[in-house]
Every structure is written in structure tokens, then in C-alpha cells.
């Protein structure tokens, strides 16, 4: 029998020498709350000092997947309240909107601290990236030491769809993918198969989903490096490996030029045309911010990338597009966001640069 320590939106249990974390909001596809993130970090710190726990496993409750990301719908009301008071749009620094503290700023800080804790964890941290693994779900899994995908895996960073930019250390992870494949995946928000995640470096091994419960039992008794090879299977080929048009198109310095190149190459490569159409549907401003954030992260540590993402988040919380994207996708669900500006060609380069400017008094402190 296991030793259960807490059950709620996230459940913790010790089975043999395995610390087991189960994200436990299946009706919400295990989306993360601030309390869940804080609880996970505290439990990880406790287990790090517990000699009885040799390794840790994270998984999701229910049949749909590990985690659909952070619970961003909960911050929409707060954004509307502040932006209606201060006029909407990206507020000039120094205005009341920047002085105010968003509750979501605390959520992001706690979540990013948890992401760094996972990446630096002193014991094996095993993640079942089965089913849906989006946004914050990538943050609780892809920073681990043993990242397992299956034939059911659907992994992605869909933030530009809601007027935001990849975070939870996603820019760091995507920046290390081969060529420009991570840039493409991050700004289009495309769903990756398990094979794609392996190619991009977001995962390590492929295990059939039917074997996960047996693997869990084995991990309670054996070190992961002894148990895991028995369950590992050969992954299918990734479509990314043969997509030469990705590196050819994304080498441009400006995202509007990237899209023009994709449209041109789309005459011979339908996938390139589809990518261009997808990018035209995203928030032009935040797709541009994400485009630069992922490439800038190549020169950053994970901690530096998280700090950059936090700065972007502080600005995005005060922007029109983040509020509008959440409304269109998660509140009204009309899937028809009215972006400002409406096209990539109209994006203000100074505004994009502004998203990378730290706001005094609103800096991420990770320790």
C-alpha cells in the first residue's frame, strides 16, 4: 500500500521508493492553479530530503491527458476590470495599471519557481506525457530528467492563440530544438506527436500507453534507469525531420517576412501554406514577441528565460490581445478574436521591444 500525504486538485503518494504526483482535476483536464503549483514545489522539496523517496513520477488523472495548462480563464475578470478602468490597450509604463498588482503575477511567479525546481531536482523526475500536454503541462513535465511520450501524446505551446507567448520555460526548451523547428512549434502552437516531441528534444523515450500502469508499478520497486528500458518501444518517424521548409522560411529576422516566405514555399509544400495560414490567425503582436523570445532564449539559462517570460507576462496582462484571446477561446468561445493590430505587417517593432523591457518592482525572483 502507498503512503498518501494529500489529496485534492493534486494528489501525493509514496509507493515503495516512488513519490507519485497525480494532477487531479480531470474535468478541467488537470489545468493548474496557483495552489497546485505551490503544493507541488513544497512536496518536491520535502521529498528531496526524504531518503525513503528515490525518484518522483508525475501523471494526470482521467483518460484525456496530463495537463491542459494553467487556468488562465480565471484571470480574465481581473484583466477586464483593470483595463476598462485604465482605457485598455498596452498601458504606458508608470500608469496606474502598471502600479497595480495582478493576482496572476503571483501565479506566474509561483508556477515558474516550480518549473525551475523540477529542472534542478536532485532525484530522477519522471513525467508521463500521455494524452494532452499543453502550456503549463509542458512546464511540469519537459523539464524533468525522464520524459515519456506515448502514441496518444498531443503536446504543444498554444499561447499565441490566446494573445500570449510561450512561458513555463517553454522558450528555453524550444530554443534548443534542431534548427528553427522549436520556433515554428512555439509560434504556431501546433500539436506535436510523441515522435515530434522526441525530435524537438521535449521528451526522451516512447512507451505504449497500455504499459504505463505496469511501468508505474515497476518504478515503485526499481530505479528508473533499470525499469524504463523494459517498457521502451521504437517511436514512429517525426514529420519535422523531413520539413526542410521550416529552416528555410524561419531564418528571416522579421516574422512578416517569414510568413511571406511560407506562403511562397506553400506553392510546393502544403504544410508551409498551412503554417502561414495558422500564423495569420494568431495575435500578430504576441506571435512577433514569441518569435523573438524563443530565439533570444538561445543565449539564456533556464532561469534567465523564465525571467524574460515573466517580464513578457507582466506586459501581456495589461494588453488588449491577451484579454481578447482568452475571451474568444475560453469565455465566449466564438473563436473570432479581434486582434489589435490585425496584421503582422502592422505590428509596431517598438511595441514588440517594449515587451522585453523589465518593469521596476515587477521582477521575477527565483531562489
Alpha carbon distance 15, 3 (integer Å): 7
Question: pLDDT of the chain along its 367 residues, tens only?
Answer: 456 565 689 999 999 999 999 999 999 999 999 999 999 999 999 999 999 999 999 999 999 999 999 988 888 888 888 777 777 678 888 888 888 889 999 999 999 999 999 999 999 999 999 999 999 999 999 999 999 999 999 999 999 999 999 999 999 999 999 999 999 999 999 999 999 999 999 999 999 999 999 999 999 999 999 999 999 999 999 989 889 999 999 999 999 999 999 999 999 999 999 999 999 999 999 999 999 999 999 999 999 999 999 999 999 999 999 999 999 999 999 999 999 999 999 999 999 999 999 999 999 998 6
User: Are the C-beta atoms of 56 and 14 separated by less than 8 Å?
Assistant: no
Q: Which residues contact 309 (CB under 8 A, 6 or more apart)?
A: 112, 165, 166, 167, 168, 169, 170, 171, 293
In the chain, where are the structural domains located?
A: 3-354
* Alpha carbon distances (Å) from 283 to 18, 134, 173, 286, 328: 42, 18, 22, 5, 12
> Residue 31: its pLDDT value, please?
95
The tally of CA atoms less than 13 A away on the side-chain side of residue 278 is 19
Distance, in Å, from the CA atom of 355 to the CA atom of 174, rounded to the nearest integer, reads 19
Q: Which residue has the cell 514569441?
A: 290
Overall CATH class of domain 3-354: alpha beta
Q: Which three cell numbers stand for residue 270?
A: 502544403
Confidence at residue 137, expressed as pLDDT on a 0 to 100 scale: 98
The closest of 54, 59, 24, 62 to 220, measured between CA atoms, is 54
Sequence-ordered list of residues with C-beta below 8 angstroms from that of 199, at least 6 positions apart, any chain: 177, 178, 181, 238, 240, 241
Task: In whole angstroms, give the CA distance from residue 340 to residue 342.
Answer: 5
Taking alpha carbons only, the member of 86, 94, 90, 81 closest to residue 359 is 94
Residue 34 grid cell? 496557483
**3-state secondary structure string, 42-99?**
HHHHHHHCCCCCCEEEEEECCCCEEECCECHHHHHHHHHHHHHHHCCCCCCCCCHHHH
Among residues 65, 164, 155, 170, the alpha carbon closest in space to that of 112 is found at 170
**What is the per-residue pLDDT across 71-85, written as a single tens digit (0 to 9) for each?**
888 888 888 887 777
Q: Give the integer Cα–Cα distance in Å for 68 and 226.
A: 30
Strand partners, 359: 362
- Distance CA(248)–CA(286), nearest Å, equals 22
- Answer whether the bond into residue 341 is a cis peptide, omega within 30°: yes
Q: What is the DSSP string of 230-294?
A: GT-BPPPPPGGGG-HHHHHHHTSSSHHHHHHHHHHHTTT-HHHHHHHHHHHHS-HHHHHHHHHHH
Instruction: Kindly report, residue by residue over 24-57, the tens digit of the pLDDT.
Output: 999 999 999 999 999 999 999 999 999 999 999 9
For residue 323, the SS3 value is helix
Give the separation between CA 15 and CA 297, rounded to whole angstroms. 38
Burial class (CB in 10 A: 0-12, 13-18, 19+), 288: buried
Amino acid at each position: 500500500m502507498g503512503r498518501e500525504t494529500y489529496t485534492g486538485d493534486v494528489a501525493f503518494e509514496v509507493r515503495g521508493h516512488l513519490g507519485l504526483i497525480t494532477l487531479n482535476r480531470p474535468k478541467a483536464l488537470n489545468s493548474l492553479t496557483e495552489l497546485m503549483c505551490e503544493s507541488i514545489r513544497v512536496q518536491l522539496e520535502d521529498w528531496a530530503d526524504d531518503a525513503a523517496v528515490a525518484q518522483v513520477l508525475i501523471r494526470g488523472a482521467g483518460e484525456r491527458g496530463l495537463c491542459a495548462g494553467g487556468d488562465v480563464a480565471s484571470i480574465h475578470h481581473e484583466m477586464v476590470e483593470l483595463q476598462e478602468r485604465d482605457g485598455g490597450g498596452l498601458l504606458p509604463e508608470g500608469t496606474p495599471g502598471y502600479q497595480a498588482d495582478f493576482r496572476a503575477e503571483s501565479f506566474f511567479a509561483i508556477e515558474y519557481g516550480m518549473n525551475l525546481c523540477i529542472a534542478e531536482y536532485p532525484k530522477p523526475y519522471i513525467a508521463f506525457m500521455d494524452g494532452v500536454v499543453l502550456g503549463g503541462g509542458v512546464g511540469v513535465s519537459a523539464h524533468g530528467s525522464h520524459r515519456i511520450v506515448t502514441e496518444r501524446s498531443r503536446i504543444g505551446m498554444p499561447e499565441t492563440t490566446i494573445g500570449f507567448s510561450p512561458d513555463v520555460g517553454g522558450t528555453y526548451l524550444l530554443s534548443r530544438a534542431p534548427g528553427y523547428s522549436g520556433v515554428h512549434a512555439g509560434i504556431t502552437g501546433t500539436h506535436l506527436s510523441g515522435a515530434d516531441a522526441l525530435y524537438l528534444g521535449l521528451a526522451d523515450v516512447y512507451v505504449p500507453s497500455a504499459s504505463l500502469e505496469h511501468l508505474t508499478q515497476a518504478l515503485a520497486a526499481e530505479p528508473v534507469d533499470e525499469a524504463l528500458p523494459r517498457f521502451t518501444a521504437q517511436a514512429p518517424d517525426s514529420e519535422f525531420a523531413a520539413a526542410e521548409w521550416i529552416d528555410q522560411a524561419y531564418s528571416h529576422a522579421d516574422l512578416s517576412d517569414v510568413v511571406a516566405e511560407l506562403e511562397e514555399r506553400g506553392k510546393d509544400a502544403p504544410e508551409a501554406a498551412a503554417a502561414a495560414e495558422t500564423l495569420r490567425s494568431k495575435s500578430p503582436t504576441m506571435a512577433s514577441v514569441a518569435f523573438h523570445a524563443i530565439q533570444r532564449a538561445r543565449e539564456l539559462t533556464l532561469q534567465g528565460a523564465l525571467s524574460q517570460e515573466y517580464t513578457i507576462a507582466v506586459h501581456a496582462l495589461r494588453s488588449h490581445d491577451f484579454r481578447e484571446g482568452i475571451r474568444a477561446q475560453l469565455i465566449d468561445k466564438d473563436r473570432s478574436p479581434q486582434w489589435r493590430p490585425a496584421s503582422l505587417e502592422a505590428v509596431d517593432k517598438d511595441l514588440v521591444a517594449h515587451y522585453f523591457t523589465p518593469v521596476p518592482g515587477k521582477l521575477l525572483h527565483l531562489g
